[in-house]
Amino acid sequence: MMNYGFTVSYDGSRYEGWQRQVRTKETIQGKLEDTLEKITGEKAQVIGAGRTDAGVHALGQYANFHLKEAYDLKMLEDAWNRALPDDISIHGLTIMDERFHSRFSAKEKHYRYSIRVEAEKNVFRRRYVWQLGERLDVEAMRKGAVLLLGTHDFTSFCGNKHFKKSALRTIFDISLTLSGGELSIDYRGDGFLQNMIRIITGTLVEIGEGKKRPGDIPIILEAKDRAAAGFTAPPQGLTLVEVTY
């Protein structure tokens, strides 16, 4: 068996997330697997580094799959891109070590959340930004973000209330950049729980609005209760930027 790795970019607006589902064909994994089977005649599971939610985008999602045959990489990549919908693109197809696993081998994931903080909307960015339209106290948000760095139990920031595994995750960096009326929040960590970044973003926005204080962050973490954190920010503002191995 040959282990193939590749980078995939997608506009997640019309999809029900990464993970293949029985109830719908509109998933990124489903589209990748179905088109790959049409080209090769082989059924393969395409494993993504992160299972992005419905409506979430990716610039640099990484994935791998196994096939029995060794294909010409350029020919397979070109044929696959032609078969895929216009809102999904793959590149950098290569042969990986047989033990490589896109999710378990990942060392760092970089996500970016974008928020429009001015009243005037950028209509051409509406699919990729949360059109909040209000000024936020960015310095207060930065103070809150610092308290999330390091290794913590992030149960309070997990959207899956039935999650049974360890909620310990390490956030390496959270940086907030304000430019052109848009606030970008870049998250770098070893991994993230379901909805974790969107819940952290909602919590930071509540700090920026004065509804919460930066000093509430340790209390929220200690509570290990989803109800203690802020709301879940909408999906369209979130993009998986890069996965590092």
Tell me which residues are annotated as active site. 53
Neighbours of 94 (CB within 10 A): 12
First to last CA, the chain: 22
As a whole number of angstroms, the longest Cα–Cα distance in the chain is: 58
Q: Rounded distance, CA 198 to CA 206, Å?
A: 12
Helix orientation angle between 196-208 and 216-223, rounded to the nearest 10 degrees: 150
Give yes or no for a contact between 132 and 115, defined as CB atoms under 8 angstroms apart: yes
SS3 of residue 89 by DSSP: strand
